[in-house]
A = this chain, B = another copy of it.
Amino acid sequence: MATMRDVAALAGVSAKTVSRVLNQDPHVRSSTREVVETAMRQLDYVPNTLATTFRSGRSPVIGVAVPDIVDPFFAAIVRAVERIALARDMSTLVTTLGDDPTRERSVLESLLRRQLGGLIVAPIGTDYSYLKPWGSRTPLVFVDRSPGRLPFDSFVEDDYRGAFDGANHLLHHGHRRVAFLGDSPTLTTTSARFAGYAAALSEAGIPADEALYAFGADSRGGAEEALERLLGLPEPPTAVFSSNARCTISVLPCLPRTRLALVGFGDFPLADLVCPPITVVAQDPEQLGTLAAGRVFDRLGHPHRRFRRRTVLPVHLIERLSCVGSAEPETLESEPAATSPSDFRTSSTTAFERKAAG
């Protein structure tokens, strides 16, 4: 591991001159430059990024913390961040937060201690006030989940509107008994989606019925249990609004035999190829990541400029077949066409079309 000094010694110049050559400083005689470059080659010299970074006080790294990197939604966010970062010669430090909120703080703080260029986080906890002192030093951007009333930048989807539209779509298909499937009502996204769902029903003059709300349905077991209870009701639902893709995927196996109609919040790979193809409210994780990363660089480049704190991205309904249901109570509008998942798509390749192994 040759250092700059070694190169300088061999080339018969000072370390500073080597540094100048390295940084394309024009104030170097070209003959000197060549001598230095030769010495660099001879010694197989590679600059030590660690030292440069340390000196500059800021690591050329963007941190990204998401609940689960294997989830295609979050993976798409990460990939987008990475693409933007790479264009600025920055790397991406990825952290999976898992589902234990108590670990979140220590994980994030250990990231922050690394003098990151910025941190993008889709948090799993509920209190982020401990991040406040860091915010003044490191650009901090929330994605997918809002930081509550804390003054951090955030890019989220229109959960309320999306859920409203999704539930409404089922109502338009003639359903009057529409169940709600969710994970935990304490999550801000889930509660916003619940509010949208409830508003749609209420606007249609349908009285609220708590018996139709099922939480904890984000695992196969939980979803199965929920469906069983719902179908055992005196007046069982004819349709289900699933408030996130994880719930949607969890009910999938039981769905055919229940003949329930379904609309899910969140598109996912192969949603158009399962039985039945799932009608979804689609988000755009790629854009979420792109915007968040862009904001990090905006903040870095213009420390004093003011930016809009909270940006809400629109979502849109993709009609497939599941919104019909095989026990549809009324006539249906028109046969929806199959549309491939539009999420998780780069310009060139569909995320999921990529080969899954070697």
Return the contact of A274 from the options B69, B246, B274 (Cβ within 8 A): B274
Q: Which of A5-13, A76-84, A168-176, A197-205 contacts B (4 or more CB under 8 A)?
A: A76-84
Given that A95-B82, A353-B219, A353-B250 are contacting pairs, would A358 and B274 also be in contact in the complex, using a CB cutoff of 8 Å? no
- Which single residue of chain B is at the shortest CB-CB distance from A143? B358
Given that A190-B358, A266-B356 are contacting pairs, would A92 and B91 also be in contact in the complex, using a CB cutoff of 8 Å? no
A354 within 8 A of B: yes
Bound together, the chains give a CA A46 to CA B130 distance in angstroms of: 13
Return the contact of A115 from the options B49, B73, B96, B219 (Cβ within 8 A): B49
Asked if B275 and A245 make an inter-chain contact with CB atoms under 8 angstroms apart, the answer reads no
A269 within 8 A of B: yes
Q: Which residues between 112 and 127 of chain A lie within 8 Å of chain B, taking CB atoms?
A: 113-115, 122
A285 / chain B contacts, CB cutoff of 8 Å:
357
Which residue of A53, A144, A357, A358 has the most chain B CB atoms within 10 A of its CB atom? A357
Given that A75-B70, A91-B93, A273-B274 are contacting pairs, would A246 and B48 also be in contact in the complex, using a CB cutoff of 8 Å? no
Q: Which residues between 211 and 261 of chain A lie within 8 Å of chain B, taking CB atoms?
A: 218-220, 244-250, 252-253
Bound together, the chains give a CA A351 to CA B245 distance in angstroms of: 12
Asked if A113 and B47 make an inter-chain contact with CB atoms under 8 angstroms apart, the answer reads yes
Q: Which of A24-32, A33-41, A54-62, A291-299 contacts B (4 or more CB under 8 A)?
A: A54-62
A216 → chain B closest CB, angstroms: 12
A266 / chain B contacts, CB cutoff of 8 Å:
355-357
Given that A49-B113, A54-B50 are contacting pairs, would A67 and B273 also be in contact in the complex, using a CB cutoff of 8 Å? no
Interface residues on A, range: 35 or more
Q: Chain copies in the assembly?
A: 2
A159 → chain B closest CB, angstroms: 7
A72 within 8 A of B: yes
Asked if A114 and B49 make an inter-chain contact with CB atoms under 8 angstroms apart, the answer reads yes
Asked if A344 and B70 make an inter-chain contact with CB atoms under 8 angstroms apart, the answer reads yes
Bound together, the chains give a CA A73 to CA B353 distance in angstroms of: 12
Given that A48-B113, A59-B50 are contacting pairs, would A99 and B358 also be in contact in the complex, using a CB cutoff of 8 Å? no
A87 within 8 A of B: no
A88 → chain B closest CB, angstroms: 12
Asked if B220 and A353 make an inter-chain contact with CB atoms under 8 angstroms apart, the answer reads yes
A54 / chain B contacts, CB cutoff of 8 Å:
50-51, 53-54
A141 within 8 A of B: no
Given that A246-B354, A355-B246 are contacting pairs, would A113 and B46 also be in contact in the complex, using a CB cutoff of 8 Å? yes
Q: Which residues between 83 and 139 of chain A lie within 8 Å of chain B, taking CB atoms?
A: 83, 86, 89, 91-96, 99, 107, 109-111, 113-115, 122, 133, 137
A331 within 8 A of B: no
Bound together, the chains give a CA A219 to CA B249 distance in angstroms of: 24
Pairs across A and B, CB under 8 Å, 15 listed: A1-B137, A50-B53, A53-B114, A75-B75, A79-B96, A82-B94, A82-B95, A91-B93, A92-B93, A99-B349, A159-B358, A218-B354, A244-B356, A265-B357, A268-B356
